[in-house]
Every structure is written in structure tokens, then in C-alpha cells.
Amino acid sequence: MTRLFLRIADLVTLDVDAIVNAANPTLLGGGGVDGAIHRAAGPRLLAACRALPEVTPGVRCPTGAARITPAFDLPARWVIHTVGPIWQDGAQGEAAALASCYRNSLALAVQAGVRSVAFPAISCGVYGYPYAAAARVALATLHTAGAAQDLRVLLCAWSTAGAAHYRDVAATLGIALAAD
């Protein structure tokens, strides 16, 4: 059974088997979490991402999909890259696409033999997904998709406000969320 934990931390400093990157479709780095991961992992991460095949011109990872690379200079062993949806109005399939990010990232983690994985708040930065709504999708999906897995899932919030969203949603959904 997957155990869910919450921590306020810098994702790139976590000593877990895998961290999840809230990436853009090119997988070539960017701002926010994506840029921080690329900077901390070093240039070999960019080279590994460039080596992944494009599924359409300029797209190595479509929205909702996930890819995995070594983590290189990070404490983690793996980086699981996923592309969250850009928030429109909540009626354009954003929740389904975001849930796919979490499901597909968990599936790759299991395939890689990962025992611990840390997730940022996917799509909550420049992609504009409201934090509370994203926390609801994340918690519900991880709780359901991870039910049959023996994983330690760490939800990594950047701030106390972000952590409060996870706590509030977990309480509403009746999902146990331990402090880490």
C-alpha cells in the first residue's frame, strides 16, 4: 500500500529514489521546478532528455505522459518527467490530464523498481492550475493508483501555503497524509 507524506522542501535536495519533474513538452529545461532540476542535475540530464525521441516535432513528452531518465548529480537516482496541463478554466479536460501525469509517473516509478518518489505540485506554477484543485487531483489519483503498490510517496510543497492545501484536501477526502 502506498503511504503518502507531506514535506515543505526543495525537491532537488530530497534523498529519494525518484523525483518527478513538472516539465514542458520539449524536456529541455525551463523555469520553476523544471529549471531547478536541470540546474541541479547538471548537463548530463539535458543530454539524456535530448536523446529521448520526439513523438511529434519538438515534443518528447505530451501532456499527461511521463518519461524517465537518470538523475545524474541529484541525490535521487531517477527523474520522472511529466507534462501537466495548462489551466484554462477547468472545463477543458485539465483534471483528467493532471491525473494522467500522476498515474503515468507512478507506473514508471514501479517499472524502475522505485520505493520512494517525490512529487512537486504539477502545473501549479507557470501553467496556472489552482493549487487546491491540483492537490485534490493529486491526492485522489495517488491514493487510488498507488493502492496496490508498496511505495513511499512524498508530496513536496514549496511553501506552508502549498502544504496547507494538501492537508485541507486530504482531510476532506479522508486520505491519511503524514508529515515527513
Annotated active-site residue in 10, 15, 17, 34: 34
Beta bridge pairs of residue 117 = 18, 153
Longest dimension (CA), the chain: 43
180 labelled catalytic: no
For residues 28 and 46, the answer to whether their CB atoms sit within 8 Å is: yes
- Give me 103's grid cell: 498515474
Euclidean distance between CA atoms 75 and 174, whole angstroms: 32
Q: Is the dihedral of CA 14, 37, 139, 174 positive or negative?
A: positive
For residues 157 and 163, the answer to whether their CB atoms sit within 8 Å is: yes
The count of residues in the chain is: 180
Euclidean distance between CA atoms 9 and 158, whole angstroms: 6
End-to-end CA distance of the chain: 17
For the annotated catalytic residues, the residue numbers are: 34
